[in-house]
A and B are shown apart, each in its own frame.
Chain A
Amino acid sequence: GAGVSQSPSNKVTEKGKDVELRCDPISGHTALYWYRQSLGQGLEFLIYFQGNSAPDKSGLPSDRFSAERTGGSVSTLTIQRTQQEDSAVYLCASSLVGSGTGANVLTFGAGSRLTVL
């Protein structure tokens, strides 16, 4: 696609429910990232996928958070038993790794805003 697409754009849920957030990266981008942006905070790294390599899960805040990437394309971030502190904007980004520059320009989606009541 032309850009990174995320859905839903807004999600309101009750404490204790599970939620799934979806990301469609730019076609051909092999790297996919999830970041979290809480009110008054910067972007917090959650997880990174690169091709068929094992994902870097070092940023996931608890075992209630998980993510998968199917077929090297679409990714789903799942939050189980949501808590109020999970309320944030969840941003997905993708990049074309191996561009030859050594750089890593991420293209972000507009985010999924999660509100846990």
Chain B
Amino acid sequence: GESVGLHLPTLSVQEGDNSIINCAYSNSASDYFIWYKQESGKGPQFIIDIRSNMDKRQGQRVTVLLNKTVKHLSLQIAATQPGDSAVYFCAETGLNTGFQKLVFGTGTRLLVSP
């Protein structure tokens, strides 16, 4: 599968920099959020998730921040590497759909220069 096309928001960073990718979600009833990474020619891969009763969650080199007041989600990648180059999607779901249906954002392309 091919990644999304040419008109995505793009974030260009240098290797070693920290990256911040932002996402605004629309449904105030959503209470579970996920970040996916999609490399060229592959399907999206799970990175990290967060529930609405949290405002921060950390993984390995990644941190997700959730601001429910303004319905904003961000993904921070520390010490960005060329292998982090991909399209990143946020997704939301909630109890109103039994957590069964994910609604995806349009994605942000991250380009990491060596």
Contact = CB atoms under 8 A, between A and B. Distances in A.
A93 B1 CA distance: 13
Contacts of A40: 4-8
| Chain B residues touching A, range | 20 to 34
A110 B42 contact: yes
Contacts of A33: 102
B1 A111 contact: yes
Contacts of A4: 43
Contacts of A12: none
A117 interface: no
A13 interface: no
A19 to B, nearest CB: 15
Interface of B: 1-2, 4-8, 32, 34, 36, 41-46, 49, 51, 89, 91, 93, 99-107
Nearest to A112: B1
B98 to A, nearest CB: 9
Nearest to A102: B99
21 contacts: A4-B43, A33-B102, A35-B104, A39-B4, A39-B5, A40-B5, A42-B4, A42-B89, A42-B106, A43-B89, A50-B100, A56-B101, A103-B49, A104-B99, A104-B100, A104-B102, A106-B102, A108-B36, A108-B43, A110-B42, A111-B2
B4 A107 contact: no
A77 interface: no
A65 interface: no
